Amino acid sequence: MLNFYVMSLFCEMIKNALSYSIINRAIKNKIININLIDIRDFSNDKNKRVDDYIYGGGCGMLIKAQPVYDAYKSIKNKVKKDCPVIYLSPQGKIFDQEFAHKLKNESDIILLCGHYEGIDRRAINKIVTHEISIGDYVLTGGEIPAIVLIDCIARLIPGVLGNIDSNKDESFENNLLECDHYTRPEIFMDKKVPDVLLSGNHKKIRLWREKQALIKTFVIRPDLLLKSKKKFMEENKMDMIFSRRSIRKYKNQEISDEQLELLLRAGMSAPSAMNSQNWEFIVIKNREHLIELSKLNPYHQMLKDAALAIVVCGDLNKILGEEYWIQNCSAATQNILTMANNLGLGAVWLGVAPYEDKMQRLINNLALPENIKPLNIISLGVPDEFKNKNDNFDEKKVHYEKFSDDGKI
């Protein structure tokens, strides 16, 4: 259950607004719970006054810090320690669907409604975690914005709407406005429902709706499209890392010269100690040669079916960065693996160094001069297996300032 605690001078307003339809049902079904805290009850003043004149002059009255802070103290021990305390104010960050999704996972949310000219800043600074506005306009108080937040967050909680899928195509869910909808009759004042909606072809209807949503958003809210582009770019950036997996099965298809050049360019764009770039890349394309290499190591069998392989080597004659050749070549290898994934290719890092025997077998096979040492072989091809994304994040492996056994200090 999500508990809302609303601190206000006009609790009745909130109670009344939430006593209808879907939200009222959510309260009755104990999916959300609304606790109303009247700030006036906490006033020290014998007449229960909560407001006063503004220091330095200015019209209007300000709610005093004391009753707000004491009202907060009365609920502090009932809520989770780090629960959001949201002050509804036109100076806040604009509320949006993304933030609503974050808030729906909380167990407690405190909403603070100002009135008149607002609240003494010292109380806000003491208790508030987020200052939120519902739009670029001014209202008489924070009660209506609080109702907006409760409504918007509550409908995202499973069980509040009959069908949680109802949320999927709503405006703003994908930073797109929702397309227009129609109901009976088919013709109203000479205007007919679009034919496609009567066609019964679900795929066509979905595509039509997507297109309409896109056009509508482009015309009315182009800013939303920019927002979704940014989100797409961010997700894709991470995807390049998480979706890289070791791919060991390949289709009988070639890698083009353009793709190969991109892979090598990626390798040579890696960081290197003192920018020494003391790497060399040997490309193996010949099938017999790939089969030969696969026989040098039982763990390198996939080379038999690879479209090509790149042997990443370090040049020990380059004085600069000589001691770092393994690190430099590893960085280049990782760049090649990431680029391969980006190009839709499959790749796996096949270890060779630091094992002398494995290195020597490869040195002999490739006729490497004494100064050129092989680090690994990257086996590459068009993937014939699919692997799920990997996110190995383990917070126990992250230490702050100093090493500690449980990963934190």
Binding site for ligand FMN (CB under 6 A): 245-246, 248, 299-300, 348-351, 390
Contact 149, 101 (CB under 8 A): no
Q: How far is the CB of 379 from ligand FMN (least distance, A)?
A: 8
3-state SS, residue 77: coil
Q: Which is nearer to ligand FMN, 3 or 294 (CB)?
A: 294
Phi, psi torsion values for 189, nearest 5 degrees: 45, 55
For residue 84, whether the previous peptide bond is cis, meaning omega lies within 30 degrees of 0, is: no
Residue nearest to ligand FMN (CB): 351
Q: How far is the CB of 130 from ligand FMN (least distance, A)?
A: 38
Tokens 């009660």 sit on residue: 143
Q: How far is the CB of 309 from ligand FMN (least distance, A)?
A: 12
Phi, psi torsion values for 166, nearest 5 degrees: -55, -30
Q: How far is the CB of 264 from ligand FMN (least distance, A)?
A: 20
Q: How far is the CB of 351 from ligand FMN (least distance, A)?
A: 3
Q: How far is CA 181 from the centre of its chain?
A: 30
Q: Which is nearer to ligand FMN, 188 or 299 (CB)?
A: 299
Q: How far is the CB of 175 from ligand FMN (least distance, A)?
A: 32
- Whole-angstrom distance, CA of residue 17 vs CA of residue 147: 7
What does the DSSP 8-state code read for residue 157?
S
Q: How far is CA 145 from the centre of its chain?
A: 26
Q: Which is nearer to ligand FMN, 172 or 324 (CB)?
A: 324
Q: Which is nearer to ligand FMN, 155 or 248 (CB)?
A: 248
Q: Which is nearer to ligand FMN, 73 or 249 (CB)?
A: 249
Q: Regarding beta strands 279-284 and 308-315, do their DSSP bridges make them parallel or antiparallel, or are they unpaired?
A: antiparallel
Q: Which is nearer to ligand FMN, 174 or 246 (CB)?
A: 246
Q: Which is nearer to ligand FMN, 21 or 392 (CB)?
A: 392
Residue 304: is it exposed, middle or buried by C-beta count within 10 angstroms (0-12/13-18/19+)? Answer: middle
3-state helix, strand, coil in the chain (%, to 5): 40, 20, 40
Q: How far is the CB of 248 from ligand FMN (least distance, A)?
A: 6
Q: Which is nearer to ligand FMN, 115 or 300 (CB)?
A: 300
- Whole-angstrom distance, CA of residue 331 vs CA of residue 317: 19
Residue of 149, 167, 155, 165 lying closest to 25 (CA atoms): 155
Q: How far is the CB of 349 from ligand FMN (least distance, A)?
A: 4
- Whole-angstrom distance, CA of residue 124 vs CA of residue 181: 43
Q: How far is the CB of 302 from ligand FMN (least distance, A)?
A: 7
Q: Which residues pair with 188 in a beta bridge?
A: 191
Contacts of 106 (CB under 8 A, 6+ apart): 2, 80, 83, 84
Q: Which is nearer to ligand FMN, 64 or 300 (CB)?
A: 300
- Name the strand (E) or helix (H) holding 351: strand 346-351
